[in-house]
Chain A
Amino acid sequence: MQIEPLKSKYGQLLRDFYTQLRAIHIDQLERKWITITVIVIGLFVGIITIDAFFHGINPPSKVETVDSATLHLNKEFAEDNLGVQVNNSGGITIRMVAGRYSFFPKHISVPAETKLTFRWVSMDVLHGVHIPMTNMSTMIVPGYVAEITTTFPKPGEYPVLCNEYCGLGHNHMWSNISVIAKEDWTAPVKLPAKGGSNNE
């Protein structure tokens, strides 16, 4: 492919466009206003981008699929594996299933000031979940695992609320979470597996 003729053609087009753009009548005051707004918008975008790239502040966006129709057969989200688990590396993972009309398990206890990784899946329709006064918020779309990592700074009893219309009983879709001071929290004892690894 010939690059040079294309380059000069589009270069010329851009130059013409720029000349015409410069020729537009813009009042002096309006020019100043546009400059200010561009700076303000640039500042906002800059802060968000720096936070995303350097501080890892992002919304939950792990594109991971799961078959919502067979969760009960799926190793990870089988009943025995739900709730709070301490991994071999010491990290805490919380696996939760959303279904009309509750979040399962219905009550969990987690430590405050500790990094927690939530993995939410839906067993039926669209749901959303948030814990008021914290930044634990995500949509739960059937077919996908919604993973979000966060830390709860304050101990207390919090409600876990469904925030997406999921049917006429949507109001009743909620559960509880206890955030316990870090030093008082003990990891749940892992019971001997009832279904075990061969529950597929």
Chain B
Amino acid sequence: MNDAAERKLALSHLWVAFIAFIVACFMGEYQVLERSGFIPALDSPSVYFASVSTHGVLMAFVLTIFFIMGFGYYIAATSLQQPVWNKPLAWGAFWLALAGVVMAAVPLLTGKASVLYTFYPPIVAHAAFYIGATLLVVGSWVWCVIMLVMFIQWKKANPGQPVPLAMFATAMNAMLWLWTSAGVAVEVLFQLIPWSLGWMDAIDPGLARTLFAWTLHPIVYFWLIPAYTAFYVFVPKQAGGFVFSDEMARLTFILLAVFALPIGFHHLYMDPEQARGWKLLHGIGTFVVALPTLVTGFSVIASLEIAGRLRGGKGLFGWIGSLPWTNTMVLSVILSLLMLIFGGFGGIVNASYAMNAMIHNTAWVPGHFHLIFAGTTVIMYFAIAYYFWPLLVKKPLFSNPMALVQLWTWFIGMSILTTPWHVLGLLGQPRRISTVVYNNLLTLSWKPYELMMILGGLILLGSACLFIYNLAKTQLNPAAEAFEQQIEYAETVTPVESLPEWLNDFKLWNKVIAVLMAISFGYPILQFFFMDTSGSSPWGF
């Protein structure tokens, strides 16, 4: 198949994602420096909060959405062995989303949208920020439609056949994102945009927070699913083994999507506008979603063990040493799992209902999500990029040793950054402060940890630069000889011939999700229309 058009499409998306990423990395390092107060000349709340808002939007929305779109197009084209459906539409979505990013970037960078990427009404940003963010999301919805159309077309052309696992996971993610983004879309379209333009006098921040909580948990799984997809479909092959179980992988993706959605209230544990029964219900759901993650951990380690033993590893732990540690995909998955173990542990503390009071909105929280997102997830984005780049540009990777150094330094930098961040949270430091001005002895104990964070950030920034340099060199290098390598999807220990329809389709799961969402969000949203609430007018910052 001549997939030049698909390769260009994927590459364009991935470059937007990684340019956003590197810009945001520079901002991250500036932020740890500014926040520590060691360089008084840097001290400026207005620059700091503009930077934090931009860093959040670039990392959480631009890097992720563009990466997932580019990844999805290439997965769909290669796993289904067919061209991307309606490429002009796909390019339209690309330009729409990019225009949205530019539109949002102007108020962000000029300090007109320092409301953080979580919006926080009743503080109001320039309307262009909300409209730009909306265009970005609308662009991603078009991608969802393209993925689902390709999924359905392939199923029609191959009745009774199991959809390739990689495409099953990608289409599942498209469906998950449509459900996920509905909450924030309602908030932005019916509250924030009309209110910021002055068409509405007041909005209820309680309702706005509830709608945002709808999106806030499953969005994490939207970011994570490409990493999990790589765990299942690329890692076993790269390590020299097999997928442990195809059916369990599908079941895992289904459980992730179904249970990621109705549990957003763990972000509202400390909020006064929701009652405890609903919070407890969402809290229990939060623990349920740990199950597919634990199963994934098992499957990945099992497929690595198969590979290690096939490569001659002996004994209880001998197989670990015989894994190909110099393969970027294998090294990434090992480092990713290590960070997942620690990040998951922290996540259980956050999820534990009333215990959340100990760490809520402290420095612990950004420590946690940097470890689990920028660590576990983004390191797999790197691994995918190192694997895809040679396939997309038809040239070998510029430097494998450099890639290995980059992955190790990312892991080390992330450990040095996030460990003190967690400790600061336990010592009571609030997140989202631009500098420490509290006249209290307690703050003295914070200083050494902030110093460590600067070092961690510096290592991460260096690592990020190496990553971009390696990708750019790969692409710009003159091609020496024809590069013939093809994408390789891992095989299963026992290949599946047929699957029950509910493991090969989303119809049943959409119904289950609809019921669960109605139960867990129905009354909590409707209550705002029964209660005697008084809205908030817009406030500057």
Interface residues in B408-463 by Cβ distance below 8 A to A read: 427-438, 440, 442
Contact A124 B360 (CB under 8 A): no
Tell whether B485 is near chain A: CB-to-CB under 8 Å: no
Tell whether B375 is near chain A: CB-to-CB under 8 Å: no
Contact among A25, A59, A132, A163 for B276, CB-based, below 8 A: A59
Tell whether A41 is near chain B: CB-to-CB under 8 Å: yes
Q: Mark A131-151, 1 if CB is under 8 A from B, else 0.
A: 011010111111111110000
Contact B276 A37 (CB under 8 A): no
Q: Which residues of A contact B377 (CB under 8 A)?
A: none
Contact among A27, A45, A61 for B274, CB-based, below 8 A: A61
Tell whether A33 is near chain B: CB-to-CB under 8 Å: yes
Q: Which residues of A contact B248 (CB under 8 A)?
A: 24, 26, 30
With A48-B353, A68-B534, A147-B272 in contact, is A30–B244 under 8 Å at CB? yes
Contact A171 B434 (CB under 8 A): yes
A174 to B436, CA, bound (A): 11
A41 to B287, CA, bound (A): 6
Q: Mark B244-285, 1 if CB is under 8 A from A, else 0.
A: 110110010000000000000000111111111001100110
Contact B348 A59 (CB under 8 A): no
Q: Mark A42-59, 1 if CB is under 8 A from B, else 0.
A: 001100110110000111
Tell whether A91 is near chain B: CB-to-CB under 8 Å: no
Rounded to whole Å, the gap between the CB of A178 and the closest CB of chain B is: 13
Contact B428 A161 (CB under 8 A): yes
Closest to B276 in A: A61
Tell whether A159 is near chain B: CB-to-CB under 8 Å: yes
Contact B272 A45 (CB under 8 A): no
Contact B294 A37 (CB under 8 A): yes
Contact A168 B45 (CB under 8 A): yes
Closest to A162 in B: B430
Tell whether A63 is near chain B: CB-to-CB under 8 Å: yes
Rounded to whole Å, the gap between the CB of B187 and the closest CB of chain A is: 14
Q: Mark B319-341, 1 if CB is under 8 A from A, else 0.
A: 00000000000000000000000
With A49-B280, A147-B272, A164-B432 in contact, is A25–B247 under 8 Å at CB? yes
Q: Which residues of B contact A24 (CB under 8 A)?
A: 247-248, 251, 503
A-B pairs with beta carbons under 8 A, tally? 210
Q: Which residues of A contact B429 (CB under 8 A)?
A: 132
Tell whether A82 is near chain B: CB-to-CB under 8 Å: no
Tell whether A115 is near chain B: CB-to-CB under 8 Å: no
Closest to B531 in A: A65
Contact among B116, B273, B280, B353 for A141, CB-based, below 8 A: B273
Contact B437 A172 (CB under 8 A): yes
Tell whether B79 is near chain A: CB-to-CB under 8 Å: no
Contact B123 A126 (CB under 8 A): yes
Rounded to whole Å, the gap between the CB of A101 and the closest CB of chain B is: 11
A166 to B115, CA, bound (A): 9
Contact among B270, B430, B536 for A59, CB-based, below 8 A: B270
Q: 5 nearest interchain CB pairs? A: A132-B428, A163-B361, A163-B430, A61-B276, A146-B272
* Interface residue ranges, A against B (CB under 8 Å): 17, 20, 23-27, 29-30, 33-34, 37-38, 41, 44-45, 48-49, 51-52, 57-69, 124-126, 128, 130, 132-133, 135, 137-147, 157, 159, 161-172, 174
Having A48-B353, A61-B276, A130-B430, one finds 20 other A-B pairs with CB under 8 Å, namely: A25-B245, A25-B494, A26-B248, A49-B284, A51-B354, A52-B354, A59-B357, A60-B272, A63-B272, A125-B123, A126-B122, A126-B123, A130-B360, A137-B358, A141-B272, A143-B533, A143-B534, A145-B272, A165-B49, A170-B434
